[in-house]
Amino acid sequence: MTEEDSIKPVIILVQTQLAVNIGMCARAMLNCGLDELRLVAPRDGWPNEGAVAPATDAKHVIESVKVYPTVAEAVADCHQVYAATARIRHLNTPVVTANEAAKEMHSATLKSGGMNRPAILFGPEASGLDNDAMSYADRLMHYPMNPDFTSLNLAQAVLLFSWEWWSSRAEAITSYEQDWEAAPRAELDHYLQRLEIELEKSGFFTNREKQPNTMRKIRTLFCRSNPSSQEVKSLQGILTALISRLR
């Protein structure tokens, strides 16, 4: 089985205060291919219209939210539980970074033949997870942030975890295959030869001995931008226009 068929991490928001944040979390999750969102005792109840607009096109994430009264019930069918927290010194639970957590989840899922269901808990906006909620976690997850300013908002914390999960999946794209057709170098070379002739006529090369070196430098500059045929035509047109004023 491929990883795409397998179970993805479940995001669990515990006692979230603002519905707008739930919507923003849903959007951030879907950006990174996650779509299972659970709520534990959201302050303003559920469903909540305030979450819909911030979710933009992630409406199906919002519509399939499940609500639980307690953390214990929300994680009951999960195999690994992580707790996102900035307070990493208060419990005797191993601490991993978001990147490490994401990689652990992928490997646990693969080892289990796709049956492993990881979950990650995020606490209320103002206070974060309390010790009781954190005690359900087998790992604490933290973000190694600027030590002078670690306060992340809820949706941004969910985004960073989701991004790490998405970026570290096996088939993660590492670079974009660009649909770019560079001109055959003969076209660029033809331009550069013509440029050299016109520069000679214009008295640009005050020192004949240095002329080859100067042209090498000019060629380096243009080769580096690896122009398309259309761009070489533009360069030819510019040259033609500039010298045409002679006539």
Quick one: tokens of 211? 């002329």
Least distance in angstroms from the C-beta of 152 to a second copy:
6
Q: Is 218 in the site for a second copy (CB under 8 A)?
A: yes
Q: Is 207 in the site for a second copy (CB under 8 A)?
A: no
29, 58, 173, 215, 229 from 166: Cα distances, Å: 10, 17, 10, 47, 37
Q: Is 30 in the site for a second copy (CB under 8 A)?
A: yes
Local structure of 194: helix, strand or coil = helix
CA distance linking residue 177 with residue 59, whole number of Å: 31
Rg of the chain over Cα atoms, rounded to whole angstroms, equals 29
Least distance in angstroms from the C-beta of 80 to a second copy:
14
Q: Report whether 164 contacts 101 (CB < 8 A).
A: yes
Q: Is 97 in the site for a second copy (CB under 8 A)?
A: yes
Least distance in angstroms from the C-beta of 115 to a second copy:
21
Q: Report whether 95 contacts 142 (CB < 8 A).
A: yes
Give 3-state DSSP helix, strand, coil % of the chain, rounded to 5: 45, 10, 45
**Residues 6 or more apart in contact with residue 52 via CB below 8 angstroms:** 23, 59, 62
Q: Is 142 in the site for a second copy (CB under 8 A)?
A: yes
Task: Using CB under 8 A, pick the residue from 5, 113, 126, 178 that binds a second copy.
Answer: 178
The residue count for binding a second copy (CB under 8 A) is 74
Quick one: tokens of 95? 């601490």
Least distance in angstroms from the C-beta of 126 to a second copy:
12
Q: Report whether 82 contacts 101 (CB < 8 A).
A: yes
- Residue 49 vs 57, nearer CB to a second copy: 57
Of 153-172, which residues contact a second copy (CB under 8 A)? 153, 155-156, 159-160, 163, 166-167, 172
Local structure of 119: helix, strand or coil = strand
Task: Using CB under 8 A, pick the residue from 92, 126, 208, 209 that binds a second copy.
Answer: 92
Binding-residue pattern over the window 42 to 81 for a second copy, x denoting contact by CB under 8 A: --------------xxx-----------------------
Q: Is 5 in the site for a second copy (CB under 8 A)?
A: no
- Residue 67 vs 235, nearer CB to a second copy: 235
Query: Starting at the edge strand that comes first in sequence, how are the strands of the sheet with 80-84 ordered?
Result: 66-68, 37-40, 10-14, 118-122, 80-84, 139-142, 95-97
- Residue 22 vs 40, nearer CB to a second copy: 22
Q: Is 24 in the site for a second copy (CB under 8 A)?
A: yes
- Residue 16 vs 40, nearer CB to a second copy: 16
